[in-house]
Amino acid sequence: MRKLIILKSLVDFVWIVTCIPMLLLMAFFTAYMFIDPYALDIVFDKMTFSDIASNTIKQIFGLLYIVVVSLSIYCLFIFRKTLRYFQKVKPFHLDVIRNFYKIGYLLSGIGVFGSLLFFIARLVSQGQFKINLGLSPFILLVCLGLFFMILSEVFKVAKQAKEENELTV
Amino acid sequence: MKDNTTILTVITYAILLGAVSVLLNDMHEFDFNQFEKFQNWAKTADKSESWFTSKNAIEWSYYAISTGLFFWRAYLIYGFSYFLSILKEVETGNYFSDKNISYFKKIGNIFISYTVGVLILRFLLAAIGESTFSFFNELKAEFTFLIPAGLAFYILAEIFEKGKQVEEENDLTI
């Protein structure tokens, strides 16, 4: 239980210090990148976009990037919500199973979509057909997503066993 | 679920293989650099000079700390290999087995000890002047993911223990 309190505090700390300011900054940035497209150079380095890439392409990819980051923040939000159920000692609640499945689904999606986004960005702006087969954060995200989906299925089994148990009693 | 488990097993194998090859490559490169340094030193070395000098002591501590860092990286990869065992258990339908509970605990232990160990070694490396150490940068790199993940695995172990109790009660009732 003490570990759960530490984890919840850490997640809350990351949520308050990183995620909330980031959401505000992203809202501001979404508008600002259309006023001053050069602001996008802060987000995209020269490895992703060359100098010759047009501002419209950069803006489209900027928007997609913001969507991906927002979804990641939403995943952390759901995880934070799920930890509350653990604190209430309800680990096999239906919402926990649903939340885990949702997190898994979203993280896998972010991983696949993110790697595709960077692949297309390189192809469009630099004309490079480059596939990264090494360790990348996107592959780790897909792994984490699949792991959450498996956990959700395992928790579903435990929930059924618990319900059967309660019915018998 | 079987599809997800199979995909995750394949990806985990690929990640482990990639991580091991990167580690071996880094170790080889480090070893080669040290050998080159040794060769350069041997050309100009003065045999009458005492071997125990502060410069040599620093060199040896750098070598020892780097070896320690490689050890921790290998230990983390070993920790990741437990995922394969967990997935194997899940695939066979033993979701809440004792093995899974102990694997989750072990992964949690490895993640947390890796973070603490690497943090201490990097601090020592900075102390002997071979690199720079910024606590906030280290915090960003290691703590933000591995410490919460380690704690989450401890909690998962506890939840799986509870799942095991429920399953056992259920089996007894039937």
* ipTM, 2 dp: 0.80
The reply to whether A7 touches chain B by the CB within 8 Å rule is yes
How far CA B94 is from CA of A154, A158, B163, in Å, comes to 10, 12, 11
Q: Per-residue pLDDT averaged across A27-52, rounded?
A: 74
Question: Which residue out of A133, A150, A155 would a mutagenesis test of the B interface target, given it has the greatest number of B Cβ atoms within 10 Å?
Answer: A150
Residue span of the structural domain in which B143 resides: 2-173
- Report helix, strand or coil for B31: helix
With bands split at pLDDT 50, 70 and 90, how would you rate the model's confidence at A102? very high
Beta-carbon separation of A7 and B151 below 8 A = yes
Q: How far is A59 from chain B (nearest CA, A)?
A: 28
Q: How many other C-beta atoms lie within 10 A of the C-beta of residue B52?
A: 7
With bands split at pLDDT 50, 70 and 90, how would you rate the model's confidence at A51? low
Q: Per-residue pLDDT averaged across A129-152, rounded?
A: 83
What φ, ψ does residue B129 adopt, rounded to 5°? Answer: 85, 15
Beta-carbon separation of A151 and B166 below 8 A = no
The reply to whether A162 touches chain B by the CB within 8 Å rule is yes
Domain extents for chain A? 2-168
**Alpha carbon A130 to its chain's center:** 24
CA quadruple B100, B105, B111, B113: dihedral sign: negative
Judge whether residue B68 has pLDDT over 70.
yes
Beta-carbon separation of B166 and A91 below 8 A = no
Judge whether residue A52 has pLDDT over 70.
no
**Alpha carbon A77 to its chain's center:** 10
Beta-carbon separation of A10 and B22 below 8 A = no
Q: Per mean pLDDT, which of B37-46, B77-86, B120-129 is the most reliable?
A: B77-86
Three-class SS string for A87-134?
A: HCCCCCCHHHHHHHHHHHHHHHHHHHHHHHHHHHHHHHHHCCCCCCCC
pTM: 0.82
For residue range B112-148, list pLDDT tens digits in order. Answer: 999 889 888 888 888 776 666 666 666 666 666 888 8
Output the six-digit token pair for B5: 């488990």
With bands split at pLDDT 50, 70 and 90, how would you rate the model's confidence at B111? very high
Among residues A146, A149, A13, A27, the alpha carbon closest in space to that of A80 is found at A13
Number of domains in chain B: 1
d(CA A65, CA A75): 16
**pLDDT value, residue B142:** 62
Question: Which residue out of B3, B8, B100 would a mutagenesis test of the A interface target, given it has the greatest number of A Cβ atoms within 10 Å?
Answer: B8
With bands split at pLDDT 50, 70 and 90, how would you rate the model's confidence at A79? very high
Beta-carbon separation of B162 and A150 below 8 A = no
**pLDDT value, residue A73:** 93
Judge whether residue B174 has pLDDT over 60.
no
Beta-carbon separation of B173 and A165 below 8 A = yes
Please, what is the end-to-end C-alpha distance for chain A in angstroms?
A: 28
